[in-house]
């Protein structure tokens, strides 16, 4: 909510000329109304040698909340602006950029009626923003401003000096110095303040593209971070709007628990920025699953934990799969799947082959009975170990398909992921990751208990030392019923039934996890191809 | 009426088909003898679909709707009368099929009235005046042809009324179904499969307190209970064992004298067919029975045959609360009468497949059972009994060397005796678990998803919307602790009405006034700890965890948040908290004191039913290795359960322990931004002011804002401190919710706080011994009389002192615990939050007059309603838990609380 622009001068070109360029008198404090509060411009110093203009935006926090509301009854808890406890009144956020444009409209356009030549002149400028929210920190601030000729002095703001273990905050104190036209400097700030902030921009309007083009004229094209700037400035708005509408219930549950909405509503991976790398493994996994299903001669197939529907889409391309049911517990994932598969536009005959339903393997579900096969691709590792027996029961005894295909990461292979620190799991939501021995033991135990034969297959390159990145178990029903084996192993189930087969060293606390791209992100390419190719 | 009336017997649940030509008086007859809504008339349905009751082209559609409505009525168990000509065999065939589909008896009443009379009646009705002349004679011919074949078509009763006089004289008499013994309330002793084990049967009956009558040869030929109890045998009296005739003699004697009821097992059924001379295979132990019967008299064999012939497939007892049958029965078959029902009752549900021993594979019907009546059955030998979904199998394999088991009803106590020896080698080993026993049976999705209505005993029906259930499903499935631990979720709490007090948004006066207005005079103010809500379920030992909650992994309880998520990522930390708490309960001597003290007490209701889990945990059969010792728990009166468990509602501190993510990203971040920006902004303003620029007002205002931001930082920092393992972690219990067989949540808060003080004291003593800081934390409290101004003033002062010292605020609760006012149940608590604490909620600057003025317009209605609904659901979950109801019933209420938590309501309330 505060920044200063300073310049220096001498007798021939006094620093106070800044007042002309900004179109604000150095001896007055002026007030302007904006949608979110009052903006003030005043000059803490105004001499020939040095002149500083300050912009202070006095944000009205209550008005902010009331404006942020309005989506759904009771407001939108996930909207940053719906929080009374909000950094907007203090930090130099997108609101300040809006104020900048309102207050310095003509300066931004490079117009100076009284002294037109001043507007064209590059001045020695120093711009200070004491509290700038910067996603990407000092490092990104440098990458954004240095290519534009600014000398960047930036330091992180500590979160709370009382609790040093909390580390730095997401704010930096930024000082830019250099010689530039005031109009250019203002345009840089106008675009880059929101880009660094990267918060949810309620204010992004339809004409925002034009605004970016205008403000970026002459410098954005050449900027090495152009892609990032454009994406952050514009790209997230549609996704965010949709998301805001879809996650209200979950967000409220998060709020009830003093948890962030993103911690609960993480079924759809938002790190969609980096989609290229994972394709090979995800693709291979899908191929391996389809092979297994073909081998089993399955026609009616359940995809349990279908996520955004990539496998469902792949199955729809083969007519041998006469009925494909995608099941997921996340409503958002299902909506995303439905959108990607374009279910509402499929011809009736195609649409009749596919269904997406919300379900949960923590419960038995009569709708899932009687299918040829069920796929649990990268699903079990998202279930807490103590709750895995319930899933086993729901799938192998209650639903009881002829074939069950289970894939899960091979923890041994993690050493081959360069980006994954030792001892970490591949995805923050993984409750455990098993090595080949653990997975094999689990699969054999489940097979014995429920009357399924087990075949283990590698997925991906089978490393001689650590095995494949993904492991697969192919279960084939042998016993007619799901009764427990009466023999010794079942009568001693008491402690062992729920414990992992052996130790589970990788069932580490989520706090120490790191997300790597290879397995978690979700390629859309195959689906898109199909859409183009078949319809 | 007079004696010229003729009684027509009609089972009280049946499909009555009237048969007669047009004009034969069916509608008049139906209206005279049945309630209007019981009668489905084809004319009415023709009018319904075609606006004209005589439009014959509408007949197919009309009957489709009629059959549909009839199906709905029959499914709901309502007598239904079809008023149509029904002279064609085809139309009757569909009705017979309908009756069979819903397992009710089809009954035909034929109105065989002379054509002349019918024609006259038709002529007198203008709407039928143009009935074509050939219609009536044709219907007559079809009727004549039909009469002889009705019985063969499947009608179980056919009443023929051959004249106008007979029709006039007829009187419908509703007959009770044989299986309907709802008027018998017992108490009952239900005995599992016997299979010729006479000695064990006599031992069991003796243990149950029966006294025998014996014949000259000292053979037991009858038994009665001095307390007037009735024995109920679930069948399979015979085969395999050493003395089937002896068992039959005793049971038949008891039944004949009215001291026992008996339903048939599949073995009686087969024996009956043998005795009737049918050809049956002498397998599965029939050979032994045949041999034993051979030395009995011809007369005895005839009595046996007659006895078996007389048995009714199942009984509905005790006002519909209890169903007894041999092999189990789904709810839709209760009280129904059909071959299908009988077959299910005798053989259970089979999948049509056979296992590796060549025995039929049984479908686990009990897992799907959701009925309110308890179903007690046998048939499938299991090593130990346990309730699943309100059903229990009493066959503990006595003849195979297991035990013979009886269930006392309504006490729900199990009583058993061991087999004297293995009388018969089983073909396959006993299945290790009773259905759903220790398996960790998951719940069924059908119990939680979609739009739901949960019946609560204290607040009526509570509805859950579909989208809220969907969100709850995701959180419950992905993040919650095991549902077997998740027996309760705390309700949300409404704040007091908005205060007009200068500088305050919430103030105690409004809380006191709210209770006074509801007629609650005595309240208790409790300190509101600023941490995170934690529900703790602690078992006395892993054994209890296994027996009572079916959790096998060695954990002894759970600590979870208000949305059911585990509080600690590390299971070891959870166990450490539980161990400390367990020690406090030990030290305070609360295990025994809090458990239901009268598990054996007769009578109905939650406390009695609550002994079910305890009984279930009794070593019923030699299954649990360690458990062979204690002999037949049920027989001794009021044995205190050896285990014990306790469910507590608490606040876990510090707040920063669980909310650190939120703190760092939101609260501390706001503080950091403010702290970074104000020095620069203020010094700039000061410099400008020094230069003489007119910024005095702005400067002043920014200084105030800085002070507010600083107060905000102080506010959240009070609730943060660094912990090391459990050192620094504090648990402040404020309510004990449940203990074995008992919901404690309705009790008065002074009693609650006294218990909790003992826990805190015991923990302090234990910590002192160990030389470490205590875990438990006392809750400060002050009783207030809402009608006494001096008392409420003292309450207000108490609150001001508390909050000035940095406390979050207080919760005001009715001292009596559960309270009911004129408008229904009263809020269980109203929170009144401190002025500084609310900065965390409403923002650093909320105390500025211009902000407060706007913030005062907040709407509390929805929050209050939500709080009451969630409270009622929480109590319901605890009641169901205490009553030993099936997991799905407890889970249904808990799930609903979670779903309601996702309703849109101002989160700052």
Six-digit token pair at B367? 């897992």
Predicted confidence (pLDDT) at residue B783 exceeds the cutoff of 90: yes
Average pLDDT over residues B68-72: 97
Predicted confidence (pLDDT) at residue B235 exceeds the cutoff of 50: yes
Looking at residue A55, what is its pLDDT?
95
**What does pLDDT average to over chain A?**
80
* 3-class DSSP assignment, residue A354: strand
Cα gap B368→B445, rounded to integer Å: 11
- Whether A272 is covered by a domain: the verdict is no
Q: Percentage of chain A surpassing pLDDT 90?
A: 45
Looking at residue B598, what is its pLDDT?
47
* Interchain contact A111–B (C-beta under 8 A): no
For A22, list phi and psi in degrees, rounded to 5: -80, -10
Beta bridge partners of B567: none
* Interchain contact A126–B (C-beta under 8 A): no
Best mutation target among A160, A302, A478 (most B Cβ atoms within 10 Å) is A160
Comparing C-alpha atoms, which of A289, A294, A278, A279 is closest to residue A472?
A289
Cα gap B749→A85, rounded to integer Å: 35
Predicted confidence (pLDDT) at residue B615 exceeds the cutoff of 70: no
* Interchain contact B792–A (C-beta under 8 A): no
Looking at residue A200, what is its pLDDT?
53
* Interchain contact A158–B (C-beta under 8 A): yes
Comparing C-alpha atoms, which of A4, A428, A64 is closest to residue B479?
A428
Predicted confidence (pLDDT) at residue A451 exceeds the cutoff of 50: yes
Average pLDDT over residues B539-562: 89
Global confidence as pTM:
0.75
Residue B351 is nearest to which of A58, A257, A481, comparing CB atoms? A481
Tell me which long-range contacts B449-452 makes (C-beta under 8 A, separation of at least 24).
Answer: B449/A358, B449/B473, B452/B892, B452/B896, B452/B899
Looking at residue A495, what is its pLDDT?
34
Considering the domain architecture, whether residues A211 and A82 belong to the same structural domain is answered as yes
Q: Which of residues 123-142 of B touch A (CB under 8 A)?
A: none
Question: In whole angstroms, what separates CA B501 from the centre of its chain?
Answer: 47
Asked if the Cβ–Cβ distance from A394 to B367 is below 8 Å, we say no
Cα gap B289→B294, rounded to integer Å: 8
Q: How many residues can be counted in chain B?
A: 909
Considering the domain architecture, whether residues A414 and A371 belong to the same structural domain is answered as yes
- Whether A274 is covered by a domain: the verdict is no
Confidence class for position B628, pLDDT limits 50, 70, 90:
very low
Tell me which chain A residue has its CA closest to the CA of residue B482: A387
Q: Percentage of chain B surpassing pLDDT 90?
A: 68
HSE, side-chain direction, 13 A CA sphere, residue A115: 13
- Whether A438 is covered by a domain: the verdict is yes
CA distances from A138 to A94, A128, B380, B664, B759 (A): 18, 14, 71, 19, 52
* 3-class DSSP assignment, residue A410: strand
Whether B196 contacts B242, CB under 8 Å:
yes
CA distance B596 to chain A (A): 28
Confidence class for position A530, pLDDT limits 50, 70, 90:
very low
**Range list of β-strands (E), B326-373:** 350-354, 360-362
Comparing C-alpha atoms, which of B493, B514, B497 is closest to residue B870?
B493
pLDDT tens per residue across span B74-114: 999 999 999 999 999 999 999 999 999 999 999 999 999 99
Considering the domain architecture, whether residues A35 and A152 belong to the same structural domain is answered as yes
Would you list the DSSP string of A257-295? TT--HHHHS-SS---TT--TTTHHHHHHHHHHHHHHHHH
Looking at residue A245, what is its pLDDT?
46
**Range list of β-strands (E), B251-321:** 260-262, 314-317
Whether B348 contacts B398, CB under 8 Å:
no
Predicted confidence (pLDDT) at residue A516 exceeds the cutoff of 60: no
* Interchain contact A47–B (C-beta under 8 A): no
Q: Find where tokens 């599992």 sit.
A: B192
Six-digit token pair at B780? 């400060």
Considering the domain architecture, whether residues A204 and A134 belong to the same structural domain is answered as yes
Comparing C-alpha atoms, which of B446, B388, B397, B390 is closest to residue B418?
B397
Predicted confidence (pLDDT) at residue B629 exceeds the cutoff of 60: no
Considering the domain architecture, whether residues A370 and A302 belong to the same structural domain is answered as yes
Cα gap B713→B707, rounded to integer Å: 10
Comparing C-alpha atoms, which of A236, A238, A306, A311 is closest to residue A268?
A306
Which of these ranges, B174-178, B282-286, B763-767, has the smallest mean pLDDT?
A: B282-286
CATH code, A497: 3.40.50.150
Looking at residue A481, what is its pLDDT?
54
Q: Which helix (H) or strand (E) holds B170?
A: strand B170-175
Q: Which helix (H) or strand (E) holds A100?
A: helix A94-103
Predicted confidence (pLDDT) at residue A497 exceeds the cutoff of 50: no
3-state helix, strand, coil in chain A (%, to 5): 40, 20, 40
Comparing C-alpha atoms, which of B842, B309, B756 is closest to residue B526?
B756
Interface contacts (A, B; CB < 8 Å):
317
Best mutation target among A5, A16, A29 (most B Cβ atoms within 10 Å) is A29
Angle at A475 between CA A472 and CA A480, to 5 degrees: 175
Instruction: Say what the ipTM of the complex is.
Output: 0.79
Tell me which chain A residue has its CA closest to the CA of residue B904: A74
> Of A249, A269, A295, which marks where a domain is finished?
A249
A331-341 and A236-246 helices, crossing angle to 10° = 130
Beta bridge partners of B157: B107
Which of these ranges, A384-388, B126-130, B518-522, has the smallest mean pLDDT?
A: B126-130
Q: Please count the structural domains in chain A.
A: 2
Considering the domain architecture, whether residues A239 and A291 belong to the same structural domain is answered as no
pLDDT tens per residue across span A389-432: 889 999 998 999 999 999 999 999 888 877 777 777 778 888 99
Q: Which domain holds residue A90?
A: 2-249
* Interchain contact B698–A (C-beta under 8 A): yes
Looking at residue B706, what is its pLDDT?
94
Asked if the Cβ–Cβ distance from A258 to B429 is below 8 Å, we say no
Looking at residue A98, what is its pLDDT?
84
Q: Percentage of chain A surpassing pLDDT 70?
A: 78
Would you list the DSSP string of B62-92? HHHHHHHHHHHHHHTT--EEEES---SHHHH
Average pLDDT over residues B545-571: 90
Q: Which helix (H) or strand (E) holds A130?
A: strand A123-133
- Whether A400 is covered by a domain: the verdict is yes
Would you list the DSSP string of B812-834? EEETTSS-EETTEEPPS-EEEE-
How many C-beta atoms surround the C-beta of residue B328 within 10 A? Answer: 30
Asked if the Cβ–Cβ distance from A365 to B430 is below 8 Å, we say no
Angle at A30 between CA A28 and CA A36, to 5 degrees: 160
Whether A403 contacts A373, CB under 8 Å:
yes
Looking at residue A531, what is its pLDDT?
31
Q: Which of residues 297-326 of A touch B (CB under 8 A)?
A: none
Considering the domain architecture, whether residues A244 and A295 belong to the same structural domain is answered as no
* Interchain contact B898–A (C-beta under 8 A): yes
* Interchain contact B369–A (C-beta under 8 A): no
Cα gap B44→B70, rounded to integer Å: 13
- Whether A263 is covered by a domain: the verdict is no
Q: Which of residues 12-31 of A touch B (CB under 8 A)?
A: 27-29
Confidence class for position A79, pLDDT limits 50, 70, 90:
very low
Asked if the Cβ–Cβ distance from A250 to B492 is below 8 Å, we say no
How many C-beta atoms surround the C-beta of residue B295 within 10 A? Answer: 8
Question: In whole angstroms, what separates CA B657 from the centre of its chain?
Answer: 36
Cα gap B607→B591, rounded to integer Å: 17
As a three-state string, the secondary structure of B597-613 is CCCCCCCCCHHHHCHHH
Predicted confidence (pLDDT) at residue B683 exceeds the cutoff of 70: yes
Q: Which residues contact A375 (CB under 8 A, 6 or more apart)?
A: A289, A293, A301, A302, A303, A304, A311, A404, A405
CATH code, A119: 3.30.1610.20
Which of these ranges, A487-501, B44-58, B489-503, B732-746, has the smallest mean pLDDT?
A: A487-501
Comparing C-alpha atoms, which of B757, B753, B752, B754 is closest to residue B776?
B757
Q: Which of residues 406-445 of B touch A (CB under 8 A)?
A: 428-433, 438-445
Predicted confidence (pLDDT) at residue A524 exceeds the cutoff of 60: no
Sign of CA dihedral A253, A258, A259, A260: positive
Cα gap A276→A516, rounded to integer Å: 13
Considering the domain architecture, whether residues A230 and A291 belong to the same structural domain is answered as no
Average pLDDT over residues A446-466: 92
Considering the domain architecture, whether residues A468 and A376 belong to the same structural domain is answered as yes
- Whether A259 is covered by a domain: the verdict is no
Six-digit token pair at B614? 């305890």
- Whether A240 is covered by a domain: the verdict is yes
Considering the domain architecture, whether residues A245 and A377 belong to the same structural domain is answered as no
CA distance A318 to chain B (A): 31
Looking at residue A512, what is its pLDDT?
37
Looking at residue A5, what is its pLDDT?
95
Asked if the Cβ–Cβ distance from B903 to A260 is below 8 Å, we say no
How many C-beta atoms surround the C-beta of residue B36 within 10 A? Answer: 8
Sign of CA dihedral A462, A463, A467, A469: negative
Considering the domain architecture, whether residues A107 and A199 belong to the same structural domain is answered as yes
Looking at residue B5, what is its pLDDT?
83
Average pLDDT over residues A199-227: 74
Six-digit token pair at A23? 């179109």
Whether B384 contacts B620, CB under 8 Å:
yes
Confidence class for position B509, pLDDT limits 50, 70, 90:
very high
Average pLDDT over residues B209-236: 95
CA distances from B97 to A140, B65, B155 (A): 77, 16, 11
Considering the domain architecture, whether residues A184 and A327 belong to the same structural domain is answered as no
Looking at residue A12, what is its pLDDT?
87
Predicted confidence (pLDDT) at residue A243 exceeds the cutoff of 50: no
Pairing between strand B314-317 and B180-181?
parallel
Looking at residue A206, what is its pLDDT?
57
Asked if the Cβ–Cβ distance from A252 to B668 is below 8 Å, we say no
- Whether A265 is covered by a domain: the verdict is no
């Amino acid at each position: 909510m505060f920044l200063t622009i300073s310049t220096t001068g001498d007798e021939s070109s006094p620093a106070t000329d800044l007042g002309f360029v900004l179109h604000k008198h150095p001896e007055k404090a002026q007030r302007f109304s904006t949608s979110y509060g009052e903006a003030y411009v005043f000059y803490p110093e105004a001499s020939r040698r040095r002149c500083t203009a300050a912009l202070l935006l006095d944000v009205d926090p209550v008005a902010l909340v009331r404006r942020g509301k309005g989506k759904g009854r009771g407001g939108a808890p996930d909207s940053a602006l719906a929080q009374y406890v909000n950094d907007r009144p203090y930090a130099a956020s997108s609101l300040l950029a809006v104020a900048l444009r309102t207050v310095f409209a003509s300066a931004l356009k490079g117009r100076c009626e009284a002294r037109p030549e001043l507007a064209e002149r590059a001045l020695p400028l120093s711009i200070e923003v004491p509290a700038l929210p910067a996603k990407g920190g000092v490092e990104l601030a440098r990458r954004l401003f240095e290519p534009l000729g600014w000398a960047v002095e930036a330091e992180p703001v500590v979160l709370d000096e009382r609790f040093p273990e909390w580390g730095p905050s997401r704010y930096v104190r930024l000082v830019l110095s250099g010689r530039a036209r005031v109009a250019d400097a203002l345009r840089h700030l106008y675009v880059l303040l929101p880009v660094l902030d990267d918060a949810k921009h309620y204010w992004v309007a339809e004409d925002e593209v034009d605004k970016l083009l205008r403000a970026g004229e002459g410098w954005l094209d050449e900027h090495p971070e152009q892609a990032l700037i454009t994406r952050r400035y514009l790209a997230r708005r549609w996704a965010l709007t949709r998301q805001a509408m879809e996650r209200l219930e979950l967000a409220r549950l998060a709020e009830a628990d003093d948890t962030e909405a993103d911690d609960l509503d993480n079924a759809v991976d938002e790190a969609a920025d980096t989609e290229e790398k994972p394709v090979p493994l995800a693709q291979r996994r899908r191929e391996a699953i389809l092979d297994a299903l073909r081998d089993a001669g399955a026609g009616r197939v359940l995809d349990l934990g279908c996520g955004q529907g990539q496998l469902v889409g792949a199955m729809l391309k083969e007519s041998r799969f006469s009925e494909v049911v995608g099941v997921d517990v996340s409503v958002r994932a299902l909506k995303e799947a439905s959108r990607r598969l374009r279910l509402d536009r499929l011809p009736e005959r195609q649409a009749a082959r596919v269904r997406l339903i919300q379900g949960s393997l923590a419960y038995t579900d009569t709708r899932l009975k009687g299918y040829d096969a069920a796929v649990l691709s990268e699903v079990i590792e998202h279930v807490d170990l103590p709750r895995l027996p319930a899933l086993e029961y729901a799938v192998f005894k209650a639903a009881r398909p002829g074939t069950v295909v289970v894939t899960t990461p091979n923890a041994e292979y993690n050493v081959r992921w360069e980006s994954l620190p030792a001892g970490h799991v591949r995805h923050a939501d993984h409750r455990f990751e098993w090595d080949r021995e653990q997975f094999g033991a689990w699969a054999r135990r489940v097979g014995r208990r429920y009357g399924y034969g087990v075949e283990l297959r590698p997925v991906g390159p089978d490393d001689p030392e650590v095995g494949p990145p993904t492991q697969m178990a192919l279960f084939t029903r042998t016993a007619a019923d799901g009764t427990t084996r009466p023999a010794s192993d079942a009568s001693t189930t008491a402690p062992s039934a729920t414990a992992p087969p052996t130790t589970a060293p990788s069932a580490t606390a989520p706090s120490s996890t790191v997300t790597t791209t290879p397995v978690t992100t979700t390629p859309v390419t195959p689906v898109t191809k199909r859409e183009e190719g078949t319809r | 009426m007079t004696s010229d009336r003729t009684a027509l017997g009609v089972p009280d649940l049946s499909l009555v088909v009237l048969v007669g030509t047009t004009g034969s008086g069916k509608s008049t007859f139906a209206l005279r003898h049945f309630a209007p809504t019981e009668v489905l008339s084809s004319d009415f349905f023709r009018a319904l679909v075609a606006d004209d009751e005589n439009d014959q082209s509408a007949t197919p559609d009309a009957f489709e709707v009629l059959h549909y409505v009839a199906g709905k009525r029959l499914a709901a168990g309502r007598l239904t009368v079809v008023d149509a000509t029904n002279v064609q065999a085809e139309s009757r065939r569909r009705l017979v099929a309908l009756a069979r589909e819903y397992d009710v008896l089809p009954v035909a009443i034929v109105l065989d009235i002379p054509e002349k009379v019918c024609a006259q009646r038709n002529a007198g009705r203008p709407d039928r005046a143009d009935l074509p002349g050939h219609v009536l004679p044709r219907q007559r011919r079809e009727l004549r042809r039909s009469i002889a074949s009705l019985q063969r078509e499947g009608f179980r009763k056919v009443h023929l009324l051959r004249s106008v006089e007979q029709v006039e004289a007829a009187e419908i008499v509703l007959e009770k179904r044989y299986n309907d013994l709802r008027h018998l309330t017992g108490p009952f002793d239900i005995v599992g499969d016997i299979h010729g084990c006479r000695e064990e049967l006599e031992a069991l009956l003796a243990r149950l307190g029966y006294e025998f009558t014996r014949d000259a040869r000292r053979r037991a030929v009858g038994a009665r209970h001095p307390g007037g109890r009735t024995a109920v045998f679930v069948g399979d009296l015979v085969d395999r064992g050493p003395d089937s005739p002896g068992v039959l003699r005793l049971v038949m004697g008891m039944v004949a004298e009215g001291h026992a009821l008996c339903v048939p097992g599949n073995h009686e059924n087969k024996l009956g067919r043998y005795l009737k001379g049918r050809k049956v295979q002498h397998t599965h132990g029939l050979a032994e029975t045949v041999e034993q019967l051979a030395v009995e008299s011809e007369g005895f064999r005839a009595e046996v045959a007659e006895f078996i012939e007389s048995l009714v497939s199942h009984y509905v007892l005790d006002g519909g609360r209890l169903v007894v049958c041999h092999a189990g029965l789904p709810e839709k078959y209760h009280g129904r009468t059909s071959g299908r029902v009988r077959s299910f009752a005798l053989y259970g549900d089979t999948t049509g497949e056979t296992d590796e021993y060549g025995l039929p594979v049984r479908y686990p019907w009990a897992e799907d059972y959701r009925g309110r009546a308890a179903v007690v059955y046998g048939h499938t030998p299991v090593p130990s009994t346990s309730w699943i979904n309100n059903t229990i199998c009493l066959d503990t394999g006595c003849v195979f060397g297991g035990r013979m088991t009886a269930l006392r009803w309504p006490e729900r106590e199990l009583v058993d005796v061991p087999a004297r020896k293995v009388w018969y080698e089983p073909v396959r080993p006993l299945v290790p678990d009773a259905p759903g026993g220790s398996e960790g049976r998951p719940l069924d999705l059908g119990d939680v998803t979609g739009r739901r209505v949960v019946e609560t005993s204290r607040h009526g029906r509570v509805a859950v919307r579909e989208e809220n259930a969907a969100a709850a499903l995701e959180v419950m499935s992905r993040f919650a602790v095991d549902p077997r631990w998740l027996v309760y979720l705390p309700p949300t709490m409404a704040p007091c009405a908005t205060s007009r007090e200068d500088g305050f948004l919430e103030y105690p006066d409004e809380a006191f006034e709210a209770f006074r207005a509801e007629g609650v005079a005595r309240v208790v103010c409790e300190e509101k700890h600023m941490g995170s809500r934690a529900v703790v379920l602690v078992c006395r030992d892993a054994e209890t965890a296994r027996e009572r909650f079916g959790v096998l992994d060695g954990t002894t309880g759970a600590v979870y948040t208000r949305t059911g998520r585990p509080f600690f990522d590390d299971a070891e930390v959870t166990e450490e908290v539980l161990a400390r708490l367990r020690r406090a309960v030990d030290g305070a001597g609360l295990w025994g004191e809090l458990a239901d003290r009268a598990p054996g007490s007769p009578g109905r209701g939650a406390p009695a039913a609550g002994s079910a889990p305890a009984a279930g945990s009794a070593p019923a059969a030699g299954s649990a290795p360690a458990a062979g010792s204690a002999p037949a728990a049920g027989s001794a009166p009021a044995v205190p359960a050896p285990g014990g468990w306790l469910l507590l509602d608490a606040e876990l501190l510090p707040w920063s322990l669980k909310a650190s993510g939120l703190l760092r990203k939101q609260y501390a971040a706001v503080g950091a931004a403010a702290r970074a920006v104000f020095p620069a902004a203020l010094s700039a303003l000061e410099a400008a002011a020094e230069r003489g620029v007119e910024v005095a007002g702005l400067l002043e205002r920014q200084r105030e804002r800085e002070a507010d931001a600083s107060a905000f930082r102080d506010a959240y920092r009070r609730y943060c401190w660094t912990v090391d393992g459990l050192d620094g972690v504090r648990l402040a219990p404020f309510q004990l919710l449940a203990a074995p067989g008992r919901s404690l949540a309705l009790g008065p808060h002074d009693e609650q706080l006294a218990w909790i003080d003992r826990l805190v004291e015991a923990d302090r003593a234990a910590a002192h011994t160990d030389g470490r800081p205590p875990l438990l934390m006392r809750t400060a409290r002050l009783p207030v009389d809402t009608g006494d101004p001096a008392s409420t003033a003292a309450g207000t002062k108490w609150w001001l002192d508390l909050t000035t010292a940095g406390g979050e605020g207080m919760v005001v609760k009715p001292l009596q615990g559960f309270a009911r006012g004129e408008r229904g149940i009263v809020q269980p608590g109203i929170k009144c939050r401190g002025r500084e604490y609310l900065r965390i909620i409403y923002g650093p600057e909320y105390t500025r007059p211009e902000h407060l003025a706007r913030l005062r317009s907040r709407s509390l209605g929805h929050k209050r309603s939500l709080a009451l609904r969630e409270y009622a659901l929480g109590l319901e979950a605890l009641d169901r838990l205490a009553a030993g109801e099936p997991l799905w019933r407890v889970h249904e209420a808990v799930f609903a609380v979670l779903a309601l938590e996702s309703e849109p309501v101002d989160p700052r309330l």
